[in-house]
Amino acid sequence: MNKLIFKVKKAGERGRSEVELVLNNQKMTAENTDEILSTLDKLLKKNKIKLESLKDIKLEINKEAGLTSQRIVKAIAKALCLDL
């Protein structure tokens, strides 16, 4: 089973949080929320995994993470969990 973890880091000076994506122990970091989906795409391609095979998605959010970053990551995770 493919396990994906979104780790939202503490917000920086401008209120933006980095998001680390961990897929089966391989990590990639999105510098900001604008890069999350493209980073996820790169990580999936690198591991030759299809989006549909992601079944175990977890969130790890720092207490001092940016509110907008939290909401965006939660929305992405929720959308990935939907069986369309």
- Mean of the per-residue pLDDT values for the chain? 91
**Please, are residues 25 and 16 in contact by the beta-carbon 8 Å criterion?**
no
Judge residue 48's burial from the number of C-beta atoms within 10 Å of its C-beta, 0-12 exposed, 13-18 middle, 19 or more buried: exposed
Is 48 in contact with 26 (CB distance < 8 Å)? no
Report the side by side order of strands in the sheet with 2-8: 26-30, 19-23, 2-8, 54-61
Q: Tell me the CB-side half-sphere exposure of residue 43, using CA atoms within 13 A.
A: 24
56-69 pLDDT per residue, tens: 899 999 999 999 99
Local confidence band at 83 (pLDDT 50, 70, 90 cut-offs): low
| Largest CA-CA distance found in the chain, in angstroms, rounded | 39
pLDDT band of residue 84 (cuts 50, 70, 90) is very low
Instruction: Give all domains of the chain, ordered by start, each with its CATH number.
Output: 2-81 (3.30.420.40)
pTM equals 0.89
Pick the more confident residue, 33 or 7: 7
CB atoms within 10 A of CB 78: 11
